[in-house]
Amino acid sequence: MESEVRKLLDKAEKLVDECVNCSSEDCDECEDAEELLNEIRDKIQSIQDKKVARRLRVFLDDLENKLESKLG
């Protein structure tokens, strides 16, 4: 599960970067990034190892903050 979440986080990071670089707030990448971040949050909650989950959550929070600053 951890490796799957890491792959999804990498994908989400690319989408968030594309969203931030998009000139419009209606970019498909922004919507896709939001959906993917929600999916990742759900997967992180199901990880049994709390230390691993915490590390992944920190990375997720950074991406969410970056996206939120773009979308306001």
Find the domain containing 48 and state its range: 2-71
Give pTM, 2 decimals: 0.89
What distance lies between CA 44 and its chain's CA centroid?
Answer: 11
Two tokens at 25? 């707030």
Q: What is the pLDDT along the chain (72 residues), one digit of tens a residue?
A: 889 999 999 999 999 999 999 877 678 889 999 999 999 999 999 999 999 999 999 999 999 999 999 877
Two tokens at 40? 């990742």
- Tell me how many domains the chain contains: 1
9: Cβ contacts below 8 Å, ≥ 6 apart? 40, 56, 59, 60, 63
